[in-house]
Amino acid sequence: MEMNKVLDKLPKHLMSLVIDQPYNDYTEQDHAVWRYVMRQNVKYLSRVAHGSYLEGLQKTGIGIERIPHMYGMNRILKEIGWAAVAVDGFIPPAAFMEFQAYKVLVIAADIRPINQIEYTPAPDIIHEAAGHAPIIANPDYAEYLRVFGEIGSKALSSAKDYAQYEAIRYLSILKADPYSSKADIEKAEKTLEIIGQNIGGPSEMSLIRNLHWWTVEYGLVGDLYKPKIYGAGLLSSIGESFSCLKDDVEKLPYSIDAVNYNFDITNRQPQLFVTPDFEYLTTVLNQFADRMALRRGGLYGIQKAIESENVATCVFSSGLQVSGIFSDALLSCERLAFIKTSSPTQLSHSGTELPGHGKNYHRDGFGAPVGNLKKSEIPPELLSVNELIEIGIVEEEDCLVEFESGIILKGKLENILRKEDKNLLFTFTNCLVKFEDRTLFEPSWGKFDMAVGQRIESVYTGPADAEAFGLEFPVPKEKTHKIIHSESSKNLHDLYRQVRDIREKSGFHHLLPAIWDTLKKHYPDEWLLPMEILEISKKQKQNSGIAEAITKYLIEKQEENKDLVNLVSNGLSLINE
């Protein structure tokens, strides 16, 4: 992969999800599918998409004739401060959001099969490259996408969210594989349904994913009664981009209420949301962020972290960051008094692990009191050395530390760790910590590193220092299926290559009748390649007999297969223009 300044900033745990774009695996039929969709998009979306779309295609290096190579895209994307990487289908939502925060588009490397040309349930390069990339050329939208990534990557997930993600990923893989059995698909659908029925209350991640879906993926912008398309799922679906603007798809004013609308990724959407402009997207996003543990912190945030059963980080008002799996929160007069993790825990400041306070040192978990000291109205993180001495907290001496919550600590203060004129950690030896009749720490357990802070200001998913923590996203159990083509399919793809060569190099039009005869004899269900032959014949005004025969053939295909009605009509319309 060719790196640039944007990609150089990606952390290791995201780079592990990046794959090489399998460019040589794309068949000539794949390139023909891309060309058909993109020609239709340019024709139709120029009228119904946001004005940034066509300009964005040029700015982001996306051509019409062939599937774009990400090397070429990245050379152009860097001019607007973005980059693109290839990934294998759906990746974990938190990772997807974090890529956005780094201004990197994740592009599913596969391309939809021809039988899903209008709509695919799985992410593919048409959806990602032709859907997401063009709109980021708009500065307001690009900034929304980046801020969404920053906020969304901090959203707490529930314990069952990952199981649901894997079930969705697996189902989309099956549906995108033309050789999947109906029984396997039905079984996967049932599994996803069962998980959905037992997932419990919505997590922050599931709610913010709803906002992402109804904006980034399926958003409309402008006038409620005559909106324009900007969502990537619509821009990349020549079927749904047509149907979404019809009256039977309900149009709702975009607001924070969109978090309450779930979606089915494998079907078309019954309603869509219209934002007046891109700036308003950030307004709603901040309204949601104000509800998140990221900004609320406190008891609410710790409780959400406990419910998640995943690694999370809480940030004390001193700036100390505690990262681990939170398991307990003690209350005093309904206020947070003590927090506890039950897993290897990391202590950090400003996103950097404190020396000697990694997972190996705090391997059995970490406990910390929260709140003011009983003998001082000043927040404990702001107490100077002299002010600490006045209340009996002196280095290298035995101390009695009492909290307003009722927590009592007795021990010898060995060290005070300060950062940016704030107390972060008091380290005690021979330490006993009690709350009412409960022992929270005893001398035999070793040193007690007491986190210092009047309150918990923020709680978010993942560790503060991901690299030092050793963060890794689980490798998906099911890889996107590599399509194994039969000899017959390979021969068909070679015919696509011959037709492309004739169109691009010219001078070999006399070969078209033989190719057409081969198609009629061996590939009676084929419609896209005959259309390409028709296009060349019409343009060069040669082989008029073939042109008439193919036109009749395609019309007959429409009558035989209702799924081809729009595809053939739109293709013929484009050729006749």
Q: Is the pLDDT of residue 120 over 80?
A: no
Which helix (DSSP H) or strand (DSSP E) does residue 509 occupy?
none
In the block, residue with structure tokens 């050395």: 385
Of the listed ranges 10-14, 283-287, 412-416, 495-499, the least confidently predicted one is 10-14
Looking at the fold, whether 364 and 321 belong to one and the same domain comes out as yes
Q: Residue 297: inside a domain, yes or no?
A: no
Strands (E), 346-437: 346-349, 352-353, 366-369, 398-402, 407-419, 422-435
Whether 493 is in a domain gets the answer yes
- 90 and 222, same domain (yes or no): yes
| pLDDT score, position 7 | 82
* Domain boundary, last residue among 469, 503, 532: 469
**DSSP letters for 14-40:** HHTT-B---GGG--HHHHHHHHHHHHH
Q: Where in the sequence is the domain holding 25, given as residue range(s)?
A: 7-158+201-286
Tokens of 428: 């005690």
Unique residue bearing structure tokens 């901040």: 286
Encode 77-145 in three state secondary structure.
Answer: HHHHCCEEEEECCCCCHHHHHHHHHCCEEEEECCCCCHHHCCCCCCCCHHHHHHHHHHHCCCHHHHHHH
Shared domain for 120 and 94, answered yes or no, is: yes
- What distance in Å separates the CA atoms of residue 105 and residue 119, rounded to the nearest whole number? 21
35 in any annotated domain:
yes
**The model's pTM:** 0.87
Q: Compare 532 and 176 and report the one with higher pLDDT.
A: 532
Domain membership flag for residue 191: no
In a domain, 302, yes or no: no
Which of 286, 321, 349 is where one domain is finished?
Answer: 286
Task: Say how far apart CA 204 and CA 441 lie, in whole Å.
Answer: 33
| Cα–Cα distance, 235 to 216 (Å, whole number) | 11
Across the chain, mean pLDDT equals: 91
pLDDT at 176 > cutoff 80 = no
User: Can you tell me which residue has the tokens 């704030």?
Assistant: 422
Instruction: Tell me how far apart the alpha carbons of residues 306 and 515 are, in angstroms, rounded to a whole number.
Output: 65
Other beta carbons within 10 Å of 423:
26
- Show the tokens assigned to 278: 């891109």
Instruction: State the pLDDT confidence band at 393, using cuts at 50, 70 and 90.
Output: very high
Residue 224 has pLDDT above 80, yes or no: yes
What is the rounded average pLDDT of the residues 573-577?
87
Per DSSP, the three-state class of 313 is strand
Q: Which two tokens stand for residue 266?
A: 């494998």
Comparison of pLDDT for 35 and 79, the residue scoring more: 35
475, pLDDT greater than 70: no
Same domain, 340 and 431: yes
Do 348 and 242 share a structural domain? no
568: which residues sit within 8 A by CB, 6+ positions away? 527, 531, 554, 555, 557, 558
Q: How far apart are CA 110 and CA 123, in angstroms?
A: 8
> Is the distance from CB of 458 to CB of 301 less than 8 angstroms?
yes
83-87 vs 104-108, strand pairing mode: parallel
Mean pLDDT of 417-431: 96
One domain for residues 270 and 394: no
Rounded Cα distance between 249 and 270, Å, is: 5
Number of domains in the chain: 3
Instruction: Give a yes or no: residue 55 inside a domain.
Output: yes
Residue at which a domain ends, from 424, 441, 469? 469
Comparing CA positions, the residue from 46, 57, 176 lying closest to residue 110 is 176
Which residue has tokens 């079930």? 167
CB neighbour list of residue 490: distance below 8 Å, 6 or more residues apart: none
Across 373-384, b (16+ Cβ under 10 Å) vs e yields beebeebbbebe
Q: Give me the helix-helix angle, 161-176 and 182-197, nearest 10°.
A: 160
Tell whether the model's pLDDT for residue 126 goes beyond 70: yes
DSSP string, 427-452: EEEEEEEEETTEEEE-GGG--EEEE-
Of the pLDDT bands very low, low, confident and very high (cuts 50, 70, 90), residue 3 is low
* CA 505/CA 516 separation, integer angstroms: 19
pLDDT at 117: 87
Tell me the C-alpha distance between 481 and 63, whole Å: 26
Alpha carbon distances (Å) from 495 to 225, 322, 523, 531, 556:
46, 61, 11, 13, 22
Residues near 545 by Cβ (< 8 Å), separated by ≥ 6? none
* Residue tagged 């309603």 (tokens): 271
Angle at alpha carbon of residue 401, lines to 328 and 327, rounded to 5°? 5
In a shared domain, residues 243 and 270: yes
| Domain identity same for 267 and 130 | yes
Same domain, 342 and 240: no
For residue 179, how far is the Cα from the chain centroid? 28
Nearest-CA neighbor of 303 among 530, 71, 459, 121? Answer: 459
pLDDT confidence bin for 458, thresholds 50/70/90: very high
Q: What is the pLDDT of residue 166?
A: 82
> Which string of b and e fits 258-282 if b means at least 16 CB within 10 Å?
bbebebebbeebeebbbbeebebbb
Return d(Cα 10, Cα 6) in angstroms, integer.
7
Q: At residue 57, what are phi and psi to the nearest 5 degrees?
A: -60, -45
Token pair recorded at residue 221: 């912008």
CATH of the domain at 245: 1.10.800.10
Q: Which helix (H) or strand (E) holds 468?
A: helix 466-469
For the cut 90, the answer to whether the pLDDT of residue 91 exceeds it is no
Same domain, 353 and 218: no
Strands 407-419 vs 366-369: parallel, antiparallel or unpaired: unpaired
- For the chain, report the end-to-end CA distance as a whole number of angstroms: 40
Q: Do both 463 and 504 map to the same domain?
A: no
The pLDDT tens digits of the residues spanning 254-272 come to 999 999 998 877 677 899 9
Exposed (0-12), middle (13-18) or buried (19+): which is 241, by Cβ within 10 Å? buried
Asked whether residue 292 is domain-assigned, the answer is no
Same structural domain, 526 and 381: no
CA distance 312 to 83: 28
Structural domain includes residue 67: yes
334-371, pLDDT tens digit by residue? 999 999 999 999 999 999 999 999 999 999 999 999 99
